[in-house]
Every structure is written in C-alpha cells, then in structure tokens.
Amino acid sequence: FQDSDVAKWLEAAAYSLVHKPDQELEQRMDDLIALIGRAQHKDGYLNTYFTVKEKDRRWTDLQEAHELYCAGHMMEAAVAYYEATGKNSLLEIMKRMGDHIYQHFITEKAEGYPGHPEVELALMRMYRATGDKRYQELAAHFINARGVDSDYFKKESDNRGWTVWNMNPDDKEYAQNHLPVREQKEAVGHAVRAVYLYTGMADLAAETDDQSLADACKVLWENITQKRMYITGGIGSTCIGEAFTKDYNLPNDTVYAETCASIGLMFWARRMLEIVPDAKYADIMERALYNGVLSGMALDGKSFFYVNPLEVLPEACHKDERKFHVKPVRQKWFGCACCPPHLARLISSIGSYAFTENEDTLFVHLYMGSNVEKTVNGKTVNVQMESDMPWEGNIKIRVQAENAKMTLALRIPGWCKNYKISGIEDAEQEEKDGYLYLKKVWNREETFCIDFPMEVQMFAASERVREDIGKAAIMRGPVVYCLEEKDNGKNLHELLVDTDMHASVSEGKICDTVVKMVETDGWRLTESGDAEETLYHMYQKPQKQKVRLHYIPYYTWANRGENEMQVWTRVQNP
C-alpha cells in the first residue's frame, strides 16, 4: 500500500498550496502526477504493486492487497489538488480508475468489498467534486455489500491460492465484515479500518438521508466514546490486530491508540456533525485533535509516534516483548508509514474541521485563529476568529456581511460550564445540543466576544476500567495533561495526586514551544525499614512525603528525551 503514502503526501501538499502558494512545490506535484499518469493502464487501472509485481492477479485479493484503499487515497489527493489549483490532471486519472472500478464491481458484477475501507469515503468526495452519481452508487455498493456475505474473504482466499500478508480470512471482526453494517452494534477489529468505514457510512447517510445507516453510526459512536476510547481520544486497546477488544478494556501501557485511528475518529466526527449538529461529536473531534492526534508528532515535526501510550516505563518497552510496539521516543519513519503523511494531511486541512454550514446556519465547532469566507443563505459571509486555544477560552469573532440573514451556531465546549458572551445583544439566542444559536441579520462589520473560562479539572474513569480505578487524570480545557520523569523524578507510579489539587497554571516551554503547565499538590510514597530491602514484607502503613506534581500537556511528552510518563495518577484517599 505504498501508493497510499504518495497519495497522502500529494493531498497534504495540495492543502498547503491553499495557505501558502509555492511554485516549486506545485511543479514537483505536477511532475509526480505525470509520472502517476504514465503508470496507469489503458483500462484505467492504477496500482504499482500489481503492475510491477502481480500483473495477472488484480482484484483477486481484496482482503489483503489494498487496491481499493490506495485508489481511495489517490482519489482524495485528486480532489484536494483540483480544489486547490483548479488543475484536473490527477482528477482525470482517478476518474478513469473510478470508472474502471465501476466497470468491474457494478457492470461486471464482481463480488466483494474492500478489506481496508477508505474508497467509500473517497468516492463520496469524487461524487461531490465531479457530480457523477456513479461514484456515490459505488460507495453505497461497497457499504451495503459489506458483511452481507461474511464468508467472502474466506472464499476469495480459497480461490486465489496466494497471499500477501498471510491474514486469516476467518477473522471477520478484524475487517468489520462479520455482519451487514446496519446490524453492527459494537466497534470491533482493526481500529483504523473501523473508523474509515464509519466515516464512509456517515458520509453516505448524510448525503442520502439514510436513517438506518445514520442510526448504525450513532450506536457505534456511543459504543466507542462511552466504552472503548482513551481519555486522549485514542482508540484500539491492543497491538494484536491493532484492534478494539471489549468494553472498558483500556490498558494504559500496552495500548495501541494508533495516530491514524484518532485522525479517523476526527474524520468520522466531522461527518456525524453533517448528520446532526450535536456538540458531543465536536467535543470528541477536539479531544482527539489536541491529545491523541498531536501526540503523534514531535514539536519540531520531524519524528512520529505510531502508538500513543498513556503510561510508559522505557525499560519495559525495551525488555518486555508485550510492549515492544510501544516506542518511548518518536521515530523518524516506519516500515508501515501510514501515520506521518496522515498527520500532514490532517494538519494542513484543519480549517475544514472548524466549520460546517447548512442552508441558513454557519456552525463553529473548533475555535482557532482563522479567516474564512462562507456562503450561507446565498450570501457571502466573512468570519474572522482570534483565539489562543487550547490555552485560553476567550474568543473574538468578527463577522463581515451585507445584509445577510444567518444563524451563527457556536459550540459550547463540554469542558466549559459557564460561558459569557458580549457585544451581540441584538441577536436572538437559543441553546440547543451544545450549540449557542445566534440568529440575526448581519450587516457590515460586527465584532463580539465569547469566553469559555478554563479551569484545571480532575477526571476519573468509569469504575469498570480496571486500569484506572483509584486514579485521576488532569485536564485544562481540551488538553489532557501528564506527568513526565523529567519534571517529577523516576518511579511515577509512587506519586499520588491530592484531591484538593491547589492547582496553579503557568506558562512554560517544552523545547521551544510555549505551553501552559499545571502544578498540583501531591505525595510521593517512600519506603523505609524492611520495605526498603525486601520484595515482600509485612504490611505497614506507607510513608509519604508532600510534593508538588508538575504536569505538562500530554501531546508534548517525549520531546526532551526518553523518560517515564503517565496520564493516570493514583489519588490520595480515593
């Protein structure tokens, strides 16, 4: 699936051209697109693995071989490049590939569906970019076919007699083909595949008003966010199959929480907001962004995590095989390099997650410094936001329009209890599903402020989460905090956080990045007498010493060398 890495790079580069035109970069992309065009077969087929290595085996290993997955990523790149530059070179290439896929699966009625979902959501983008309904039809075909014949991969495997990865075709949950998608109630299997699939489902449901598909998405959403997600927005509890396991099984140290999975969760949340603008989706989008997604990249942007643990003892990662997948420092690159270009395309297109609009309402989901032009109710509206998120919650919004009747819906973040709004007294105000709706005729230039005060907040997990019982995590606004050895010394497991936090917040630097640090009261357990010398000893009341705990934003951990880290800390007198 290396073609997909090139595709993600092209997509990220296309978004970056929108913000920062760059002749040299654009030329490089044009050359690359020409090369891709030359690799395309006359019948539209495009996949370098099969062209170079297995030219007689096209479409015979949908389970393992990522042909549709790579096509999906290249389609996304094609749409992004077309929208950024107006050039349709890559779009034309991918239309031919889309037509080829249509011919194979619809016209010639070939069986099967993708082993790794992705093409579904990409086809929806192709449909929107080209207006060609066949792409939506094809997306619906793959979504509706999935799991109806749940033995498809088994049959395919028996027929082809060859394998790329030696994957087990009987493991139906791994690729979410154990049941038709509308009957799936629990998130199972490979976490990235799952959220790509759900994103495609939500996209199709919103586009076609498919209630049963939307309902399936809502049930799966509740299952993940209420039972199978880390506080960082990380998903996937085990490295075996990079997968979900069961409700409330959220180990902090053997976790998977792939960067790509949290990015996929953001994609899905964005599509759910198109079905129903409920702030619970945007809350998770924000949680994933500032925690489990950003942690995937070093502050200098030069090294990456694939796995995003919530607790690390570096020595254990080096010596305990069960933790070999958890790297205590970010890596320059990976054999499976999905995460770095995925981060690049997410970050370079982050503006598209901040806003959505329908006929008469412009929704603000994420508060970030921005300057956008939107069309609502047939009128052009310019919206500028000044924000110091995620560190401060006071937002200044300037709307420029000419006699535009429009509702501006502002998300009230789940972490904020009492917001204050000022300077917009003439708007009709209504609060619904976590949004403050401001309805009025906007004229010329109007500036107002909304303030979401941030406090240091202590969180507990459900008591059903064995790994977190008796422990607390610290958040401030949308940012999850952690303890690092660098600031607190070795053996973080000996620390206790005081429920009377006496928290203080200060500005500090991690490398060259200015962040808000948090300090709280706490304790360190100390051993004395027998306990110091022996592995087991008669119980004695632990001794403890008062300390201040120094918390840093979770996403900035491991930027100052290899050291211990933990998000969940034991609570004094839980």
- Give the residues lining the site for Zn ion (CB under 5 A): 258, 260, 338-339
Is 484 marked active-site? Answer: no
Alpha helices (H) in 288-327, listed in sequence order = 314-319
Quote the tokens at residue 102: 């249509």
Q: How far is the CB of 298 from Zn ion (least distance, A)?
A: 16
> Phi and psi (nearest 5°) for 175?
-110, 20
User: Of how many residues is the chain composed?
Assistant: 574
Report residue 324: phi and psi, to 5°. -60, -30
Residue 428 backbone zone (phi > 0: left; psi -120 to 50: alpha; other: beta): beta
Q: Which of 258, 214, 207 is nearest to 236 (CA)?
A: 258
Minimum distance from residue 296 beta carbon to Zn ion (Å): 8
C-alpha span between 450 and 393 (Å, rounded): 8
Nearer to Zn ion among residue 14 and residue 339 (C-beta): 339
| Least gap, CB of 153 to Zn ion (angstroms) | 22
Rounded least distance, CB 523 to Zn ion, Å:
38
- 182 within 8 A of 143, measured Cβ to Cβ: no
- The label of the residue with tokens 């690390």 reads 312
- Nearest CB to Zn ion, comparing residues 17 and 344: 344
Residue 267 beta carbon to Zn ion: minimum distance, rounded to whole angstroms: 13
Cβ proximity to Zn ion, 258 vs 485, nearer residue: 258
Q: Are 545 and 526 in contact (CB under 8 A)?
A: yes
Minimal distance in Å, beta carbon 337 to Zn ion?
8
Task: Choose between 199 and 569: whose C-beta lies nearer to Zn ion.
Answer: 199
Q: Which of 260, 317, 338, 482 is catalytic?
A: 338
Q: For residue 325, give the DSSP letter.
A: T
Provide the minimum distance between the beta carbon of 307 and Zn ion in the complex, in angstroms, as a whole number.
9
Structure tokens at 244: 């979900």
Give the CA distances from residue 258 to residues 6, 73, 355, 542, 566, in Å, rounded to whole numbers and listed in that order: 20, 18, 26, 37, 17
3-state secondary structure of 124: helix
> ∠ at Cα 192 (189, 197), nearest 5°?
85
Catalytic residue among 242, 286, 494, 564: 242
| Count of alpha carbons within 13 angstroms of residue 510, beta-carbon side | 22
Q: How far is the CB of 152 from Zn ion (least distance, A)?
A: 25
By C-beta, is 195 or 220 nearer to Zn ion?
A: 195
Q: Minimum distance between the CB of residue 306 and Zn ion, rounded to whole angstroms?
A: 6
Helices and strands in the chain, H and E counts: 17, 18
Q: Which residue in this structure is represented by tokens 């994609």?
A: 267
Contact 334, 307 (CB under 8 A): no
**Residue placing its CB nearer to Zn ion in the complex, 260 or 385:** 260
The residues, any chain, with a CB within 8 Å of residue 222's CB and separated by 6 or more, are none
Residues 6+ away with beta carbon under 8 Å from 329? 303, 558, 561, 562
For residue 76, the minimal CB distance to Zn ion (Å) is 15
Q: Cβ atoms within 10 A of the Cβ of 337, count?
A: 16
Instruction: Please identify, using beta-carbon distances, which residue of 261 and 412 lies nearer to Zn ion.
Output: 261
In this structure, is the dihedral angle defined by the CA atoms of residues 558, 564, 569 and 573, taken in order, positive or negative? negative
Residue nearest to Zn ion (CB): 260
Closer by beta carbon to Zn ion, 4 or else 40: 4
- Between 258 and 467, whose beta carbon lies closer to Zn ion? 258
Reported as type and span, the H/E element at residue 253 is: none
Q: Is 183 a catalytic residue?
A: no
- Picking from 480, 474, 310, the residue whose alpha carbon sits closest to that of residue 390 is 480
Can you tell me the distance from the alpha carbon of 211 to that of 569, in angstroms, rounded to the nearest whole number? 42
Look at residue 518 and give its three-state secondary structure.
strand
Nearest distance from C-beta of residue 118 to Zn ion, angstroms:
12
Nearer to Zn ion, 129 or 293 (CB): 293
Cα 568 to its chain centre, rounded Å, is: 21
- Which residue lies nearer to Zn ion by CB, 195 or 515? 195
Q: Are 296 and 256 in contact (CB under 8 A)?
A: no
Q: Distance between CA 195 and CA 292 in Å, rounded?
A: 15
Contact 281, 214 (CB under 8 A): no
Longest dimension (CA), the chain: 80
Catalytic residue set: 242, 338
